């Protein structure tokens, strides 16, 4: 690091990148760089940060990721201009209480730490993006409703056992990722205030049924629920209208029947149902004009509605890739493939 003279000569410095230098400490004099806007000290060997960082009132972007930090200085909340804090891949056990004083904070990433709670963040009212994957978080508190501007929440790979109703009271929430937690249910009483939620990730949990909560979220465009234990989906078609749904992944579950509600999802482009126990496919599914990919490999298919379901949409089928590998009881007559003028390379068949 430069000496005192050099610090004085760096009085107008706005960006400082000290990443990938095997640094073990930062001198307290770094706080003299009061004009810094961006400070990157990622990929070092830092065990602590100097408290003088609180003097950097112009700092907007701070990256301390991939170090050995067990805590952040409490004064970091005094950096009132701080907008982005990246502290992933450390050993943080808690967040500083005064972090909630960073009123302009819009993005924080504290993934891959050992945090049990994110409590100071629930008062960061301007936060837009919260990423805290791979921690030890067990619950989402009700006061998350205070984060009225949040658009993206990623709490994947934690120990969350149940959702909270207040998640769906966040008016700007567009992406919610809860993959690889211990959710046994996702049914919560909600209203329609979460009108911006577009992407929902619930893969790798312990769900056994399709959440009724989704009936109140018809604006969902991408829904990922693979690697659960869902065995049936019973949704009355007259009350379910996923007109915005474009991608759905229900692979690696225990489904025995094709989810019939998908026939009414007019904008579906990608359906993934691989590795279930489905035996039959409804012909109407190929009437979906936007469908580009249908994955049904590793099921128990005994029939596939080529003749009666696909002949009306011959031109459409040319643009749809169908995966039906490893369905040993399914026999695909060669004349059906020829009739449909559908090259074999577009249908990945394994009988």
Residue in 231, 181, 171 with CA at minimum distance from that of residue 201: 181
The pLDDT assigned to 226 comes to 98
Average pLDDT over residues 317-345: 71
Tokens of 246: 């474009």
Comparing 2 with 165, the larger pLDDT belongs to: 165
Three-class SS state of 17: strand
Cβ neighbours, 10 Å, residue 195:
14
User: What is the pLDDT of the chain when averaged over all its residues?
Assistant: 87
27-51 pLDDT, tens digit per residue, is: 999 999 989 999 999 999 999 999 9
Strands 270-272 and 247-249: parallel
Residues in Cβ contact with 255 at an 8 Å cutoff, skipping those fewer than 6 apart: 230, 231, 232, 233, 273, 276, 277, 278
Residue in 148, 38, 46 with CA at minimum distance from that of residue 84: 38
Q: Is the pLDDT of residue 216 over 60?
A: yes
Distance, CA of 5 to CA of 324 (rounded, Å): 70
Binning the chain into helix, strand and coil, the percentages to the nearest 5 are: 20, 15, 65
Q: What are phi and psi of 61, to 5 degrees?
A: -125, 120
What is the pTM for the complete model shown?
0.91
Q: Where are the beta strands (DSSP E) in 163-239?
A: 175-177, 199-201, 222-224
Residues in the chain: 351
Tokens of 278: 């489905």
Sign of CA dihedral 240, 244, 246, 248: negative
Tokens of 45: 């060997």
281-327 pLDDT, tens digit per residue, is: 998 888 888 999 999 999 999 988 876 555 544 444 456 788 889 99
For the chain, the farthest-separated pair of C-alpha atoms sits apart, in whole angstroms, at: 84
77-111 pLDDT, tens digit per residue, is: 999 899 999 999 999 999 999 998 899 999 999 99
């Amino acid at each position: 690091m430069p000496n005192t003279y050099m610090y004085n000569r760096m009085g107008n410095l706005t960006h400082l990148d000290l990443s990938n230098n095997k640094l073990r400490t930062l001198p307290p004099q770094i706080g003299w760089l009061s004009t810094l806007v961006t400070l990157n000290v990622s990929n070092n060997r830092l065990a602590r940060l100097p408290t003088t960082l609180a003097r950097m009132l112009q700092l907007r972007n701070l990256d301390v990721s991939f170090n050995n930090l067990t805590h952040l200085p409490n004064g970091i909340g005094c950096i009132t201009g701080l907008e982005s804090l990246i502290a992933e891949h450390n050993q943080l056990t808690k967040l500083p209480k005064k972090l909630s004083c960073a009123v302009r904070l819009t993005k924080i990433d504290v993934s891959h730490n050992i945090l049990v709670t994110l409590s100071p963040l629930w008062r960061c009212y301007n936060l837009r993006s919260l990423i805290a994957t791979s921690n030890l978080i067990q619950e989402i508190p009700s006061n998350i409703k205070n984060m009225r501007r949040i658009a993206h929440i990623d709490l994947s790979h934690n120990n969350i056992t149940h959702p909270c109703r207040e998640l769906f009271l966040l008016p700007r929430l567009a992406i919610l990722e809860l993959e690889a937690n211990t959710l046994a249910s996702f049914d919560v009483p909600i209203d329609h205030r979460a009108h911006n939620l577009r992407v929902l990730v619930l893969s790798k949990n312990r769900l056994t049924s399709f959440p009724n909560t989704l009936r109140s979220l018809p604006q969902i465009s991408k829904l990922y629920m693979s690697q659960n234990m869902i065995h049936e989906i019973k949704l009355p078609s007259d009350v379910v209208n996923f007109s915005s749904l474009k991608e759905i992944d229900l692979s690696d579950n225990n489904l025995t029947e094709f989810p019939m509600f998908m026939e009414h999802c007019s904008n579906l482009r990608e359906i993934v149902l691989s590795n279930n126990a489905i035996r039959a496919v409804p012909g109407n599914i190929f009437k979906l004009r936007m469908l580009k990919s249908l994955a049904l490999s590793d099921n128990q298919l005994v029939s596939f509605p080529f003749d009666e379901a696909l002949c009306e949409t011959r031109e459409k089928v040319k643009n749809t890739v169908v995966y039906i590998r490893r369905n040993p009881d399914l026999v695909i007559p060669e004349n059906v493939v020829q009739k449909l003028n559908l090259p074999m390379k577009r249908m990945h068949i394994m009988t």
